[in-house]
Amino acid sequence: MVETCDVIIIGAGILGCFAARALSMYDLKTIVLEKREDVCTMISKANTGIVYAGYDMHPGSLKAEMTIRSNAGFEQLCKELGVTYLKTGSIMVAYGPDGDQSLIRKMEQGKESCVPGLHLITGKEAEQMEPNLRKGISSALYSETTGAVNPWDLGIAAYENAKANGVMFHFLESVMDIDCQNKRVSIKTQSNEYTAKVVINCAGSNTDSIREMAFAPSVRIRNTSADYLVYAKGSASQISHVIFYEPEGKEKGLSIVPTEEGNLIIGATESSKMDCADYATRAEDLSALLSFSSTILPSLEQDQLLNEFASVRPNPYLLQNPEVKLNDFNILEDWPMISLVAIKTPGITCAAELGKYVSEKVIHHIGQVQTNPYYDPIRKPIEHPDMEHYKKEQDGEILCHCNLVTEKMIREAIKRGATTLNGIRRRTRAGMGCCQGADCEEKILKILMRELGIHAEEVTKDGNGSEVLL
């Protein structure tokens, strides 16, 4: 049977989830089709999580406008969705003439775009603000409004809020074919058929192939890899701001970002990679990052290194369509399809604004849509028990002692959509402490089996192909 609805969103990364949340303000039947078992399992789970100020985007571009607006509204957004926002400010440091010139250019760009709270400061001033950074800073750009957020916290929160407001999410539904003739869209997944008035293509690294199921090629995506290091809880005390290292010559610019839990994330490198599903790190990139981190933060103990991860950068390149500006957000309108093609940085910062932007276009296209009278923008996070008044009978056993996660929290995470060990990690932080799950993963596996009614062999770390017991 063909399922009929008003809008289909392909992809439940952070952009699909925020497009869904924005559409849930209207009286529409919206379905999200996601090929994986959960939300935010691809680019949206693996990035730097910086909330940008907007000074390094071209003045007048959609990217600059949206970043500045998003940054101004980020605190309120996080309040509505129950997500922690670290408004640390940032310092972009230069150690030579190339970096100095680049900072002057960025300061001018920032002024032209009216970015608030930007200051070009001396190397000495930067060293006083960040005494653990390598000495010899030649100049620095201090931004008061830059911050950091956990990207999957934000995406999961948008998903839960969209779902609570009526959007339906269908997981393990991989879109295989699209027909956009006769002003309606027909979509085939591996097992079902759908029809809708509009389709929003939010398929991340696959947005080009999804679009080409119905239209002639215009923009294609070439994927490169990005590797990161994660340092243990407590390492974030090394810095007080998000740090951007402005490169000299052919060096790569890198970032150092504190997290809510007190970790430090350092990255990202860039190397060639073709497969959009390849999230493996590379030895040479990790060793370059290690050498960077011990040089830029000499007092950071390298035995605090906890983990590593990789991401995929979807780089758009042009086949046809001179309208497309590769340095700006590419939103291609081929009604009844609208595609957010290869949205890279600052897609986390702008996710809510991009969601609003596409939803307004969709509403304009459909015409005469009523608002949803039951829409509620508030979403509550999973609560940590108050450890001073912790009672085992009420909160359940503490399973993850590193991050104080109880059995009750794990059950709540499963109720909210976690089906894998990483799905639980992302929702509760269980297994993300210094023992990396050695102590709790077996117990969590048993809870997953019990709550989902599955066998041990069916429990996966992060979806099909990552079965824990073989």
Ligand X SMILES: Cc1cc2nc3c(=O)[nH]c(=O)nc-3n(C[C@H](O)[C@H](O)[C@H](O)COP(=O)(O)OP(=O)(O)OC[C@H]3O[C@@H](n4cnc5c(N)ncnc54)[C@H](O)[C@@H]3O)c2cc1C
Are the CB atoms for 89 and 144 separated by under 8 Å?
yes
Are the CB atoms for 118 and 55 separated by under 8 Å?
yes
The CA distances from residue 335 to 17, 200, 268, in Å, are: 21, 10, 36
Closest-CB residue for ligand X? 347
Does 41 help bind ligand X (rule: CB under 6 A)? yes
Does 15 help bind ligand X (rule: CB under 6 A)? yes
**Binding range to ligand X, per CB under 6 A, among 46-54, 133-141, 294-302, 446-454:** 46-54
**Binding range to ligand X, per CB under 6 A, among 12-20, 123-131, 288-296, 396-404:** 12-20
- Write down the least CB distance from residue 469 to ligand X, Å: 25
Give the tokens for residue 360. 């307004």
Sheet holding 168-170, edge to edge: 168-170, 30-33, 7-10, 198-201, 337-341, 330-334
Phi, psi of 285 (to 5 degrees): -70, -40
Does 196 help bind ligand X (rule: CB under 6 A)? no
Binding ligand X by CB under 6 A: which of 7, 9, 33, 66? 33
End-to-end CA distance of the chain: give it in Å, rounded: 36
How deeply is 410 buried, as exposed, middle or buried, from its count of CB atoms within 10 A (0-12, 13-18, 19+)? buried
- Write down the least CB distance from residue 423 to ligand X, Å: 13
**Minimal CA–CA distance to 10: which of 192, 169, 223?**
169
3-state secondary structure 377-413: CCCCCCCCCCHHHCCHHHHCCEEECCCCEEHHHHHHH
- Toward ligand X, which CB reaches closer, 44 or 406? 44
- Write down the least CB distance from residue 57 to ligand X, Å: 11
- Toward ligand X, which CB reaches closer, 33 or 444? 33
Site for ligand X in 392-431 (CB under 6 A): none
- Write down the least CB distance from residue 381 to ligand X, Å: 20
- Toward ligand X, which CB reaches closer, 405 or 426? 426
**Minimal CA–CA distance to 337: which of 216, 160, 253?**
216
Question: Exposed e or buried b for every residue in 357-366, given b needs 16+ CB within 10 A?
Answer: bbbebbbeee
Binding ligand X by CB under 6 A: which of 113, 139, 349, 422? 349
Does 332 help bind ligand X (rule: CB under 6 A)? no
Does 266 help bind ligand X (rule: CB under 6 A)? no
**Binding range to ligand X, per CB under 6 A, among 102-110, 111-119, 128-136, 347-355:** 347-355
Binding ligand X by CB under 6 A: which of 77, 178, 348, 410? 348
Does 230 help bind ligand X (rule: CB under 6 A)? no
**Quick one: DSSP state of residue 373?**
T
Binding ligand X by CB under 6 A: which of 14, 20, 180, 230? 14
Neighbours of 209 (CB within 10 A): 15
**Quick one: DSSP state of residue 87?**
-
Does 11 help bind ligand X (rule: CB under 6 A)? yes
Does 346 help bind ligand X (rule: CB under 6 A)? yes
| Contacting positions for ligand X (CB under 6 A) | 10-16, 33-36, 41-44, 47-50, 52, 174-175, 202-206, 210, 226, 268, 311, 313, 343-349
